[in-house]
Structure 1
Amino acid sequence: MSEIFVMYELDQRPAARSFTGRSPVEERPVLRVHAANAAPGSSTTPGPRTLCGHDTFAMEAATWKPSEHPGSSWYTPKYAQLVCAQCATVMEA
């Protein structure tokens, strides 16, 4: 299997202009956590669709990568309660 990316589906409400220097994940709440394969021919860019079929264009890739944490689950433990059930099913197969 290719590199797996953890993708955050973020709240799309417009945020107030921020000068905090924080990342989009810190500025907008995570609504759902998805998994995506790497883009064809790349190991550093997520593909265009999550494993459940959602478009990754409007999502943020997590800095946490499953390949860097052998023996751990594919998703970031902090957001375990927000994992997409369809992506989890595909990852378990």
Structure 2
Amino acid sequence: MTEIIVVYELDRAPTAVGRTSSGESGSESGGEGAPAVRQVHAAPTAPGSSALGPRTFCGKDTFAMEAAPWKPSEHPGSSWYAPEHADRVCSACDAVLEDET
């Protein structure tokens, strides 16, 4: 199987900034004013490269997505996505990866 790169589909709308559970202002991605993670996708590497491929496993274009710091290869036995984003995982990407394991 090819290496997986986790990518974030970001919500760049100004409404991404809200209140945290503690009542503090901030975005869901942690940085003040930073875009929130709308959905977490997985993408294969480009053929013959370690660079991000052009499409996610669900078929979305990766051009406007941001590579996540989470690398599944560094977390053996864990999910392909970071635990804090489990509620934002693309179900189509997840299904493709389940079929490959």
TM range (shorter): 0.7 to 0.9
The answer to whether the aligner puts 1:13 opposite 2:7 as a matched pair is no
The answer to whether the aligner puts 1:33 opposite 2:40 as a matched pair is yes
Q: Taking every aligned residue pair, what percent have the same amino acid on both sides?
A: 63
Indicate the structure (1 or 2) with the bigger Cα radius of gyration: 2
SS of corresponding position for 2:97 = helix
CA–CA distance in structure 2, aligned partners of residues 38 and 79 of structure 1:
21
Greater relative contact order structure (CA < 8 Å, 6+ sep): 1
Aligned residues: 83
Question: Which of the pair is proportionally richer in strand?
Answer: 2
CA–CA distance in structure 2, aligned partners of residues 7 and 77 of structure 1:
14
The answer to whether the aligner puts 1:4 opposite 2:4 as a matched pair is yes
Task: Show structure 1 runs of 5+ residues with no match.
Answer: 16-24
CA–CA distance in structure 2, aligned partners of residues 7 and 76 of structure 1:
11
CA–CA distance in structure 2, aligned partners of residues 9 and 33 of structure 1:
6
The answer to whether the aligner puts 1:74 opposite 2:93 as a matched pair is no
Return the offset for 1:12: 2.6
Match of 2:53 in 1: 47
TM-score (norm 1): 0.83
Task: Show structure 2 runs of 5+ residues with no match.
Answer: 16-28
TM-score (norm 2): 0.77
